[in-house]
A and B are shown apart, each in its own frame.
Chain A
Amino acid sequence: MTKKKILVVEDEAELTRAIQIRLEQAGYEVLMAYDGKEALEKAREENPDLIVLDLMLPKIDGYKVCRMLKFDEKYKKIPVVMLTARAQEKDENLGYEVGADVFITKPFKYQVLLSKIRELLGEGVLKTP
Chain B
Amino acid sequence: MRLRLKIRYKLALIFCLPGLVLIGVGEIIGYFWGYDLLRNTILVSAILFAFLLPIAFISGGIFVKSIKKLQQATEEIAKGNLDCPIDIESGDEMEQLADSFNDMIATIKENRGQIAERSAPLKKPIPGRYQKILKTSAKATLNVLEDLLKAKDDLELSQQSFHSIVEKSADAIIIVDRNGLVRYVNPAAETIFGRNQEDFIDDPFGMPLNHDRTEIGIFRLKGGRGTGEMTVTETTWLGEKADLVTIHDITERKSAEEKLIKLDQLKTDFVSTVSHELRTPLTIMGEYASIISDEIPGKLNPEQREYLSIIAGNIDRLSGIIEDLLDISKIEAEKVVLKREFVDLASIISDVVTQFKPRADEKQIELKTVFPLSLPPFYIDGDRIRQVFTNLIGNAIKFTPRNGKITAEAVDKEKEFECRVTDTGIGIAPENLDKVFTRFEQFDRTEGSGAKGTGLGLAITQALIQLHRGRIWVESEPNKGSQFIFTLPRYSPATLFQEHVMNSMKEAATIGSATTLFNVSLVDPNPLNGKFLQERLEPILKDMEGLLRKSLRGKGDIVLRDMDGLVHFLVNCDKESALRVESRLKQKLSDYLVSQGLAERMKLHFGRATYPDDGSNAEELMKKARPAVYASKA
- Chain A 1-35 interface mask (CB, 8 Å, partner B; 1/0): 00000000000101100110110010000000000
B261 close to A (CB within 8 Å): no
B538 close to A (CB within 8 Å): yes
CA A41 to CA B187, docked complex, whole Å: 70
Chain B's nearest CB lies how many Å from the CB of A37?
21
CA A76 to CA B535, docked complex, whole Å: 32
B280 close to A (CB within 8 Å): yes
Task: Say whether, besides A15-B280, A106-B279, A106-B283, A88 and B272 are in contact (CB < 8 Å).
Answer: yes
Contact of B291 among A22, A86, A88, A126 (CB under 8 A): A22
Residues of B within 8 A of A110 (CB): 287, 290
- Chain A 75-116 interface mask (CB, 8 Å, partner B; 1/0): 000000000111111010100110000000011101000000
Chain B's nearest CB lies how many Å from the CB of A67?
12
Contact of B284 among A15, A91, A97, A127 (CB under 8 A): A15
Q: By the criterion CB–CB under 8 Å, are B550 and A96 in contact?
A: yes
CA A103 to CA B277, docked complex, whole Å: 19
Q: Which B residue sits closest to A19, measured CB to CB?
A: B287
Residues of B within 8 A of A129 (CB): 539, 542
Residues of A within 8 A of B280 (CB): 12, 15, 85, 106
Q: By the criterion CB–CB under 8 Å, are A15 and B283 in contact?
A: yes
Task: Say whether, besides A15-B287, A19-B287, A122-B595, A88 and B335 are in contact (CB < 8 Å).
Answer: yes
> Main secondary structure on chain B at its contact with chain A?
helix
Chain A's nearest CB lies how many Å from the CB of B544?
13
CA A15 to CA B286, docked complex, whole Å: 10
CA A75 to CA B95, docked complex, whole Å: 158
B337 close to A (CB within 8 Å): yes
Contact of B286 among A56, A107, A128 (CB under 8 A): A107
Chain B's nearest CB lies how many Å from the CB of A118?
13
Q: By the criterion CB–CB under 8 Å, are A18 and B287 in contact?
A: yes
Q: Which A residue sits closest to B277, measured CB to CB?
A: A85
Chain A's nearest CB lies how many Å from the CB of B130?
99
CA A107 to CA B277, docked complex, whole Å: 11
- Interface size class for chain A? 20 to 34
Task: Say whether, besides A14-B284, A107-B319, A85 and B335 are in contact (CB < 8 Å).
Answer: no
Residues of A within 8 A of B553 (CB): 96-97
Task: Say whether, besides A97-B553, A122-B595, A86 and B272 are in contact (CB < 8 Å).
Answer: yes
Q: Which B residue sits closest to A127, measured CB to CB?
A: B539
Chain B's nearest CB lies how many Å from the CB of A95?
9
Residues of A within 8 A of B284 (CB): 12, 14-15, 18
B536 close to A (CB within 8 Å): yes
Task: Say whether, besides A19-B287, A126-B539, A96 and B275 are in contact (CB < 8 Å).
Answer: no
Q: By the criterion CB–CB under 8 Å, are A18 and B539 in contact?
A: no
Contact of A128 among B276, B277, B539 (CB under 8 A): B539
Chain B's nearest CB lies how many Å from the CB of A109?
9
Contact of A85 among B275, B288, B540 (CB under 8 A): B275
Residues of B within 8 A of A93 (CB): 554
Chain B's nearest CB lies how many Å from the CB of A22?
7
Q: Which A residue sits closest to B319, measured CB to CB?
A: A107
Residues of A within 8 A of B286 (CB): 107
Chain B's nearest CB lies how many Å from the CB of A89?
5
Q: By the criterion CB–CB under 8 Å, are B538 and A128 in contact?
A: yes
CA A93 to CA B551, docked complex, whole Å: 11
B339 close to A (CB within 8 Å): yes
Q: By the criterion CB–CB under 8 Å, are A108 and B283 in contact?
A: yes
Q: By the criterion CB–CB under 8 Å, are A86 and B275 in contact?
A: yes
Residues of A within 8 A of B339 (CB): 89
Which A34-62 residues have C-beta < 8 A from chain B? Answer: 56
Residues of A within 8 A of B290 (CB): 110
CA A116 to CA B337, docked complex, whole Å: 25
CA A22 to CA B286, docked complex, whole Å: 13
- Chain B 263-276 interface mask (CB, 8 Å, partner A; 1/0): 00000100110011
**Chain B residues engaging chain A, CB cutoff 8 angstroms:** 268, 271-272, 275-277, 279-280, 282-284, 286-288, 290-291, 296, 319, 335, 337, 339, 536, 538-540, 542, 549-550, 553-554, 595-596
**Chain A residues engaging chain B, CB cutoff 8 angstroms:** 12, 14-15, 18-19, 21-22, 25, 56, 84-89, 91, 93, 96-97, 106-108, 110, 122, 126-129
Return 12 A-B CB contacts under 8 Å, by A number: A12-B284, A15-B284, A18-B287, A25-B296, A85-B283, A96-B554, A106-B279, A106-B280, A106-B283, A107-B282, A107-B283, A108-B283
With A18-B284, A85-B279 given, can you name 9 additional A-B contacts, CB distance below 8 Å?
A14-B288, A18-B291, A56-B276, A89-B337, A96-B549, A96-B553, A107-B283, A110-B290, A126-B539
